[in-house]
Amino acid sequence: MTAISSTNTNLGTSTGAEPRGAKPKKAFSRRNIIIYGTLVVAAVYYILPLYVMIVTSLKGMPEIRLGNIFAPPVQITFEPWVKAWSQACTGLNCDGLSRGFWNSVIITVPSVIISIAVASLNGYMLANWRFKGADLFFTILIVGAFIPYQVMLYPMVIILRDLGVYGTLQGLIIVHTVFGMPILTLLFRNYFTALPEELFKAARVDGAGFWNIYFRIMLPISLPIFVVAMIIQITGIWNDFLFGVVFTKPDTYPMTVQLNNIVNSVQGVKEYNVNMAATLITGLVPLIVYFVSGKLFVRGIAAGAVKG
Amino acid sequence: MNTSVSVKDLTLKFGAITVLDKLNLDIGDGEFLVLLGSSGCGKSTLLNCIAGLLEPTDGQIFIKNKNVTWEEPKDRGIGMVFQSYALYPQMTVEKNLSFGLRIAGMAKDEIDRRVARAAEILQIGPLLQRKPAALSGGQRQRVAIGRALVRDVDVFLFDEPLSNLDAKLRSELRVEIKRLHQNLKNTMIYVTHDQIEALTLADRIAIMRGGVIQQLDDPMTIYNEPKNLYVAGFIGSPAMNFFKGEITTAEGRPAFVTNGVTFMLDGYKAKGLLQPGTKAVLGLRPEHITVDGPEAGNTHQAVVEIEEPMGADNLIWLKHAGQSMSVRIGGSRRYRPGTQLRLSYDMGVASLFDAESELRI
Ligand SMILES: Nc1ncnc2c1ncn2[C@@H]1O[C@H](COP(=O)(O)OP(=O)(O)OP(=O)(O)O)[C@@H](O)[C@H]1O
Ligand SMILES: [Mg+2]
């Protein structure tokens, strides 16, 4: 009697005769195979070049000449990284990427801070302090966001020359700040507009003025959008090549331009390992920004998602 | 009566749209005034103008006999409570309450004293260190009221403070707001589109429609003697029954006839002359119609169509004089559909409107 009933139960669970609870899912269904297959292919496609770069940058030149680019290094050497940082030659000088790195830092930090500060204030004004002509201003800004940069290069050169900052780091900082303005303002304005209007009204009734509302109400609840703006600006400005080439001189070249000159210099043998190391070093900053801010970003969104 | 808030010829336009048109309103000291109206009639707009959050196109606003038309919200001596609570999400309850005081640079111990007092009145003491996200809807609204309370203002403005809450909480907080008003005796202006809230809370109700105040009276007058057809239809739930017809005379006395059915108007308190031949609308509230009462002059027969028992009350729908009408009777009296019953009316509480001007006759 007991035996029979227990086999019955076993049968019942193994065939799922009576559906109950979560529906069992097959691990190797056709759907899963397609999904994971596609994901793996895509991942390999993106990771393989990075792998090749890292591996090559850790090899000596003799090993590279063997020709097997996928093979891991037999003898790991950091020589290429050191050389890329401090000795690699452009057509003009031989002090590596370090000069370009510091130039890029000096360009990026103020550009990011100034452009975000100004753009967030613009967005705040457009969203909450509807001044006369706000709509016109906003339209012009949107149009500005869609004008191709190339069109504005020459006029910008003339303006910078007349201001006496052409070819200097300050000049490039001004350019980055100005060109980041339309899209950032749009970003901030839309974010602030989406915040409940009554929050702003409550703060006004509480006696907070323009700056108090901005710093004590708007800013603290808008951290996610500030992080987004920072990601956009840091990576955009760090990776910029066009403005760097146009608006600076060899002394003030940002890292990307320096990298280009190292990789494309035509003296002697092509040192692939040095080139790869130089490229990786240049890409390191945006990479770190993505990793660090990615975490911040997720936390920011989660905090903002809870309705207050 | 001392006026506390006075609105003079207030006009507000958004571009080509006129939301408020030459609106006049005087609110007495310590009065609880409710602005009632359907969605989009300009209640919030009026409140925002009084608060100084919207610039009027024309007109003036006085608070405590001082022209505040150009004053900043903070200088008007008002506190405001919003529908969506509008608590600052990054601040604790305590910081939310004290924000305005800190901005004003008030001394620390005075701030603490006021926050403690507000917390005691609203019973939110244990919540002071929490963030708004960790509060229930009712608690959030209490904090929002507290934020107005700490500012020690003369005038409280409420913009549909309870409409985000569920029915039970709403009736609880409604009582609390009434208690608050009785204790503080501040002037309160309260916007709602819930007529129960309006009738229970208000000293006077202003019924708005399309930016114009239709009637400004105490709740009982609004309920019993609506000035026009709109107010009559707006107040009361279930709504007043309307019959379109004509004033005549029957047996030498004024009467109202619709679809061949005659209602004697004995006892109706007419404001003007009941001119026979006038096209008119007769309004009878469902709760003012008697079913199977004593045989009197003014009785009709009708057949029950649908019955809606609601516990304390029983709502009966009938077909009468060619149209559908409802009657409210006690919950214990049941009438099955198809039952024949006798209706009688008390014309002393009926309403009669001119069909053309829609004004009370
Ligand atoms: N910024 C604006 N621009 C143009 N029209 C507006 C603006 N704000 C409000 N309105 C219009 O003014 C009218 C009155 O709006 P208001 O917010 O005062 O209505 P309300 O009576 O408070 O309605 P509700 O009960 O839905 O809150 C509406 O028709 C609305 O469309
Ligand atoms: Mg409103």
- Residue A306 pLDDT class (50, 70, 90 cuts): very low
Q: What pLDDT was estimated at residue A300?
A: 54
- For residue B228, the model assigns a pLDDT of 93
Q: Which of A240, A129, A118, A231 is nearest to A185 (CA)?
A: A118
Q: How many CA atoms lie within 13 A of B26 on its CB side?
A: 5
Residue B354 has pLDDT above 50, yes or no: yes
Using the beta-carbon criterion (under 8 Å), do B147 and A202 form an inter-chain contact? Answer: yes
Domains and CATH numbers, chain B: 3-230 (3.40.50.300), 241-354 (2.40.50.140)
Per residue in A50-77, pLDDT tens? Answer: 999 999 999 888 888 888 888 888 888 8
Cα of B135 from ligand 1 centre, angstroms: 29
Q: Between residues 181 and 220 of chain A, which touch chain B (CB distance below 8 Å)?
A: 196, 198-199, 201-208, 212, 216-217, 220
Whether the predicted pLDDT of A35 surpasses 90 = yes
B228 lines ligand 1 (CB under 6 A): no
Residues of A with Cβ-Cβ distance to B99 under 8 angstroms: 203, 206, 208, 216
The span from the CA of B127 to the CA of B219, in Å, is: 36
Q: What is the mean pLDDT of chain A?
A: 85
Q: What is the pLDDT of residues B37-63, one digit of tens each?
A: 999 999 999 999 999 999 999 999 999
- Give the nearest ligand 1 atom to B42 CA: 18
Give distance in angstroms: CA of B195 to centre of ligand 2: 15
| Alpha helix segments (H runs only) across B219-324 | 219-224, 229-234
Per-residue pLDDT band for A148 (boundaries 50, 70, 90) equals confident
In this structure, the dihedral spanned by the alpha carbons of residues B293, B295, B301 and B307, taken in order and rounded to 10 degrees, is 10
Residue nearest to atom 5 of ligand 1 (CA): B14
Cα gap B331→B321, rounded to integer Å: 25
Lowest-pLDDT range, A235-239, B227-231, B250-254? B250-254
This prediction has a pTM of: 0.82
Is the CB of residue B51 less than 8 Å away from at least one CB of chain A?
Answer: yes
Q: Is residue B293's pLDDT more than 60?
A: yes
pLDDT of residue B297: 67
Mean pLDDT of A112-132: 93
Span B274-284, average pLDDT: 91
In this model, does residue B111 exceed pLDDT 60?
A: yes
- Residues B243-263 have a mean pLDDT of 90
Residue type, B162: L
Residues with Cβ < 8 Å from A207, sequence gap 6 or more? B72, B73, B74, B100, B103, B104
Predicted confidence at residue A223, as pLDDT, reads 85
Among protein residues, the one whose CA lies closest to atom 6 of ligand 1: B14
Which residue of A195, A205, A210, A307 is the best one to mutate when testing the B interface, meaning the one whose CB has the most B CBs within 10 A?
A: A205
Has the ipTM of the complex gone over 0.95?
Answer: no
User: Does residue B20 register a pLDDT over 90?
Assistant: yes
User: Taking 80 as the threshold, does the pLDDT of residue B258 lie above it?
Assistant: yes
Give SS3 for B316. Answer: strand
Whether the pLDDT of residue A108 is over 70: the answer is yes
Q: Residue A162 pLDDT more than 90?
A: yes
Which H helix or E strand runs over B276?
none
pLDDT of residue A92: 74
> Residue A297: its pLDDT value, please?
62
Domain A81-305 part of CATH 3.30.720.110: no
* Domain ranges across chain A: 24-77, 81-305
pLDDT confidence of residue B325? 93
Q: How far, in Å, are A127, A245, B264, B346 from residue B252 at the CA level? A: 69, 104, 11, 19
pLDDT average, residue stretch A22-41: 88
